[in-house]
Amino acid sequence: MNPIPKISESEWEIMKIIWKTSPITAEQILLQLSSSTEWSDQTVRTFINRLMKKKAVGFERQGRSYLYYPLVSEKECVKSESQSFLKRVFGGAADIMVTNFLEDANLSEHEIEQLEKILQDKKNKDSRSS
């Protein structure tokens, strides 16, 4: 499996659109970004080209247009970015990261129940594999 490419913050904006709606043209990407950014057509195309060089995006020619589609899944990229963040900011210590987030978070009862279920599932999974 190819390594997951490092995607910049701006490239993430492009990728979110491509993951949500693909295949998609550069013009369609620009239209979707117009409410949140003031990027020019050339800026969007530059980011798309970078993503193609990183093998995060592929394309198919259709007439005079190029249709872009993801070569990596959103889930894979989120996982890779999360692991990178964990190592970079918390030295790989997941418990410190989770504690840090939970101390400052305002969680609903439902969100707390979801977290408890995730932890219980993880505990059960880990105890089965030991």
Q: What is the CATH number of the domain that holds 58?
A: 1.10.10.10
The tally of domains found in the chain comes to: 1
What global pTM score does this model have?
0.78
Let me know if residue 97 belongs to a domain: no
Determine the pLDDT at residue 130.
Answer: 65
Let me know if residue 99 belongs to a domain: no
pLDDT exceeds cutoff 70 at 1 = no
What is the percent of the chain where pLDDT is above 70? 98
Q: Which two tokens stand for residue 113?
A: 């129940």
Let me know if residue 84 belongs to a domain: yes
77: Cβ contacts below 8 Å, ≥ 6 apart: 4, 7, 15, 56
Question: Among residues 78, 73, 28, 63, which one has the least CA distance to residue 48?
Answer: 28
| Residues of the domain holding 23 | 1-92
Let me know if residue 130 belongs to a domain: no
Let me know if residue 20 belongs to a domain: yes
The model's confidence at residue 104, banded by pLDDT at 50, 70 and 90, is confident
Measured over all CA atoms, what is the biggest interatomic distance in the chain, rounded to whole angstroms?
A: 57
pLDDT exceeds cutoff 90 at 75 = yes
